[in-house]
Amino acid sequence: MKYAFKVLLKDPVSAARLGKIYTPHGEVNTPVFMPVATQGSVKSLTPEMVRNMGAEMILVNTYHLYLRPGHSIINKFNGLHKFINWNAPILTDSGGFQIFSLSALRKITDDGVIFQSHIDGSRHYITPETAIEIQEALGSDIMMCLDECTPYPASFEEAEKSLELTVNWARRCKNIKKSNEQALFGIIQGGMYPELRRRAIEEICLNIGFDGYALGGLSVGEPKDIMMNTVKTAAPLLPEEKPRYVMGVGTPEDIVACVDYGIDMFDCVIPTRCARNGLLFTNHEKVVIKHARYKEDTSPPDETCDCYTCRNYSRAYLRHLFMAREILAMVLNTIHNVRHYMRLTEQIREAIKDGRYADFKKAFMERNINQGGYEN
């Protein structure tokens, strides 16, 4: 099956929509949240666990796999799907954000990026052409163009220069792409300046054209209201017939809000990272499992949750495991948080299907305001 995307249903009140992504490794229902498998694994979980929780697609990090074990090794296994035993769609990011985070170890030029490995200090040179070559060797279903992630804060001039570089790199990525089975998404930069975001959309979407589009350079330290306003103003300008992806976002509240603006795809390390740090997502309260109040609590993390952890274990046991630093604590907490995100997107899709997304969003936001949200 070749890559394709179809909008199935639009919400009558908001910009929320149901869609389906078709890939050589299966179909993905949107809106979708992709668990992050940085090194080719969702930390502490087997691929079978992740699949059984309802995940239809995962995100794998190009930068990390390029450094270790190397894309040439993965290519010998006919790509990531065989190498990591994941027989479902995979999206690979270009590594641009990871290189961005190595500000002290990298140098950006018009041609590409020179950087030092965070593992052993070795020097590497990545160009747009190299980024596509690596991702084609990885064999992902969706590849991302190499971009320069605009920092926050950035002046208009700095954001404009970054945007111009990203557009140039996007054109080179498309020109070098060889695989007909892998989709390629363009990334919209421009900082927090609406004018630059509009210019980026015109250049990336209209003048070049890709299989899908991502809003990048968000959740990089900017205030939440600025981030949301950027999504709100940029999303309606993206082509309706292509999937819309917000990279690295976010909390359950972020997802519910962005779906309302017409976003189809999400990824974030929040559910897995919070699980390892003992923060559990529930529909009723914020559970910081190390708190003494759970020492004798016989209830599951969330009585409304159908995950393996909630069906079998108490808060008291999870607290004991966490305080004892048992590996099982990370496993059980991650199972719950990933399933919570999968259930959230299932509920979102059901609400859109029934034409009641506005009511769903209102009730969800009111409930989360009352429990203080999940900012941690």
- State how far the Cα of 243 lies from the Cα of 308, in Å rounded to an integer: 32
Where does the pLDDT of residue 371 fall: very low under 50, low under 70, confident under 90, or very high at 90 and above? Answer: low
Q: Are 22 and 166 in a shared domain? A: yes
Q: Are 100 and 227 in a shared domain? A: yes
> Which tokens is 173 given?
């990525």
In a domain? residue 279: yes
* pLDDT for the residue 284: 87
* pLDDT for the residue 376: 36
Catalytic residue among 211, 254, 267, 302: 267
In a domain? residue 350: yes
- Tokens 């920092």 sit on residue: 151
In a domain? residue 253: yes
> Which tokens is 246 given?
């917000």
Q: Are 88 and 237 in a shared domain? A: yes
In a domain? residue 371: no
In a domain? residue 288: yes
Q: Considering its fold, how many domains does the chain have in total?
A: 2
Q: Among 191, 184, 171, 173, which residue's Cα sits nearest to residue 234?
A: 191
Q: Are 176 and 304 in a shared domain? A: no
Strand partners, 268: 35
Q: Are 260 and 347 in a shared domain? A: no
Percentage of the chain lying above the pLDDT 90 cut = 92
* pLDDT for the residue 373: 52
In the listed set 246, 267, 288, which residue is the last one of a domain according to the structure? 267
Percentage of the chain lying above the pLDDT 70 cut = 98
Q: Which domain holds residue 286?
A: 275-358
* pLDDT for the residue 370: 56
Q: Among 188, 229, 214, which residue's Cα sits nearest to residue 267?
A: 214
In the listed set 237, 267, 297, which residue is the last one of a domain according to the structure? 267
Could you report the per-residue pLDDT of 276-296, keeping only the tens digit for each?
Answer: 999 999 998 889 999 999 999
In a domain? residue 59: yes
In a domain? residue 11: yes
In the listed set 267, 296, 324, which residue is the last one of a domain according to the structure? 267
Q: Are 94 and 202 in a shared domain? A: yes
User: Does the pLDDT of residue 26 top 90, yes or no?
Assistant: yes
3-state secondary structure the chain: CCCEEEEEEECCCCCCEEEEEEECCEEEEECEEEEEECCCCCCCCCHHHHHHCCCCCEEEEHHHHHHCCCHHHHHHCCCHHHHHCCCCCEEEECCHHHHHHCHHHEEECCCCEEEECCCCCCEEEECHHHHHHHHHHHCCCEEECCCCCCCCCCCHHHHHHHHHHHHHHHHHHHHHCCCCCCEEEEEECCCCCHHHHHHHHHHHHHHHCCCEEEECCCCCCCCHHHHHHHHHHHHHHCCCCCCEEECCCCCHHHHHHHHHCCCCEEEECHHHHHHHCCEECCCCCCEECCCHHHCCCCCCCCCCCCCHHHHHCCHHHHHHHHHCCCHHHHHHHHHHHHHHHHHHHHHHHHHHHCCCHHHHHHHHHHHHHHCCCCCC
Pairing state between β 113-116 and 106-108:
antiparallel
Could you report the per-residue pLDDT of 218-258, keeping only the tens digit for each?
Answer: 999 999 999 999 999 999 999 999 999 999 999 999 999 99
Q: Are 138 and 8 in a shared domain? A: yes
The CATH code of the domain that includes 212 is 3.20.20.105
Q: Are 257 and 298 in a shared domain? A: no
> Which tokens is 174 given?
């498309």
Which residues, 6 or more positions from 266, have their beta carbon under 8 angstroms from its beta carbon? 31, 32, 33, 34, 245, 246, 249, 250, 254, 255, 258
Has 93 been annotated as catalytic?
yes
Could you report the per-residue pLDDT of 249-276, keeping only the tens digit for each?
Answer: 999 999 999 999 999 999 999 999 999 9
User: Does the pLDDT of residue 302 top 90, yes or no?
Assistant: yes
- pTM summary value: 0.96
Q: Are 94 and 137 in a shared domain? A: yes
Q: Are 112 and 22 in a shared domain? A: yes
In a domain? residue 366: no
Catalytic residue among 93, 141, 254, 264: 93
Could you report the per-residue pLDDT of 313-359, keeping only the tens digit for each?
Answer: 999 999 999 999 999 999 999 999 999 999 999 999 999 999 999 99
Where does the pLDDT of residue 368 fall: very low under 50, low under 70, confident under 90, or very high at 90 and above? Answer: confident
Written as one letter, the residue type at 287 is V
C-alpha 112, offset from chain centre: 24
Cis peptide before 250 (omega within 30 of 0): yes
Q: Are 164 and 189 in a shared domain? A: yes
Q: Are 304 and 282 in a shared domain? A: yes
